[in-house]
Amino acid sequence: MVGPTSLQTFKKHHILNMEIDNMRILKLSLSAVLALFILGACSPQETANAVNGADNSSQPEPVCTSCGVIRAVNPITQQGDSSGAGAVIGAIVGGVAGNQVGGGSGQDIATAAGAVGGAFLGNTIERNRGSSTYYEVVIDMETGGQQVINVPDATGISAGVPVRVQGGVITIR
């Protein structure tokens, strides 16, 4: 039979064994936490180049020195030269037409007015026939500043279009 003293002894040993087991678990846990801290200290450090998780170790994109965006396309009309032939022919035609109007001194005034008006109109027609239109293209360059290129035809280019400029030639990117 088991007496009260042997039961008390058993309980004491059992409690003592539990306390020893708890201490072993505590030591093991502290050792594991300490090992994690030591291993964490051995890991590679973040560099100052890393921003928001981005990899900045590669070189930055090179800037295109010949690239830009069209700011404006302005048509420019250049007046042609006048040799005077248009004015002479216009004066003759206008004088003849004015001579057909009225009679007496009114006819003389109409002839003079027709000649002056015809000369002006003939000169204007001659200048317009020799005129030309070209286009001034204003480009905001990616490197800063602007370039202005004159082209005879602006088909396909307008404000906001990205372009490349090489040797005065505009190509759409």
Q: Residue 55 domain-assigned?
A: no
What are 123-132's pLDDT values in tens digits?
888 777 767 8
Q: Residue 51 domain-assigned?
A: no
Q: Are residues 87 and 119 in the same domain?
A: yes
Q: Are residues 158 and 93 in the same domain?
A: no
pTM: 0.43
Q: Are residues 21 and 95 in the same domain?
A: no
How many alpha carbons lie under 13 Å from residue 89 in its C-beta half-sphere? 10
What are 55-72's pLDDT values in tens digits?
556 777 788 899 999 999
Whole-number percent of the chain with pLDDT over 70: 82
Domain that holds residue 2: 1-33
Q: Residue 42 domain-assigned?
A: no
pLDDT number for residue 87 = 80
Q: Are residues 123 and 138 in the same domain?
A: no
The whole-chain average pLDDT of the chain stands at 80
Domain count, the chain: 3
pLDDT number for residue 106 = 81
